């Protein structure tokens, strides 16, 4: 006798609940045990990665919590976040420059760190104090050129975000 049969017997004998309700309850317990559903939206998730809809909604809800100060950059980042296809895909963010410390020529320690999808609690978290590589975009004068550079290199490199040095105004 498995756990689901035991649940059915308990429902029938101790609670006087109908057979149909017991079958529904048993099916629900199966989903919970196998983790084949999203706790937030109750959509089935058979690969146990995450619910794409919840991930995108989480990112969209946070659109108002940050701004680069440049509408084109904000729209570019928001568009990229809205196109997330995989929970383990790198999420492009606006990174305030003051989040970087121990800045060397090409690396820095990112205080809050990049977003990553935590499949157990089914939401994005930050990976604090992550060492990241920096690429300074010195030779670009137009914001469209900068965004094109990011778009071009995204498939080949993990690009966590865009930032700007407030002293030099150089995009990183």
CA atoms within 13 A on the CB side of 48: 6
Number of structural domains the chain divides into? 2
Residue 46 inside a domain? The answer is no
Q: Could you tell me the pTM of the whole model?
A: 0.71
Print the domain residue range for 11: 3-34
Same domain assignment for residues 81 and 148: yes
Same domain assignment for residues 26 and 93: no
Report yes or no: 54 and 66 within 8 Å, Cβ to Cβ: no
Same domain assignment for residues 64 and 132: yes
Report yes or no: 73 and 93 within 8 Å, Cβ to Cβ: no
Tens of pLDDT along 41-91?
555 444 455 667 778 888 888 888 889 999 999 999 999 999 888 777 889
Tens of pLDDT along 107-154?
999 999 999 887 666 678 899 999 999 988 887 778 888 888 888 888
CA-to-CA distance for 1 and 106, rounded, in angstroms?
A: 61
Residue 167 inside a domain? The answer is no
Same domain assignment for residues 80 and 133: yes
Same domain assignment for residues 81 and 7: no
SS3 of 138-159: the string is CCCCCHHHHHHHHHHHCCCCCC
């Amino acid at each position: 006798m498995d756990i689901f049969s035991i649940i059915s017997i308990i429902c029938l004998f101790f609670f006087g609940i109908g057979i149909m309700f017991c079958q529904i309850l048993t099916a629900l317990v199966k989903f919970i045990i196998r983790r084949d559903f999203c706790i937030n939206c109750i959509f089935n998730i058979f690969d146990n990665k995450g619910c794409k809809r919840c991930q995108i909604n989480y990112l969209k809800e946070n659109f108002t919590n940050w701004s680069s100060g440049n509408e084109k950059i904000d729209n570019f980042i928001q568009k990229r976040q809205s196109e997330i296809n995989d929970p383990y895909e790198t999420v492009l963010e606006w990174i305030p420059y003051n989040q970087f410390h121990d800045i060397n020529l090409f690396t820095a320690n990112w205080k809050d760190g990049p977003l990553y999808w935590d499949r157990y609690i089914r939401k994005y978290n930050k990976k604090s104090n992550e060492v990241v590589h920096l690429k300074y975009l010195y030779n670009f004068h137009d914001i469209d050129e900068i965004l094109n550079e990011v778009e071009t290199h995204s498939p080949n490199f993990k690009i966590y975000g865009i930032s700007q040095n407030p002293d030099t105004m150089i995009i990183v």
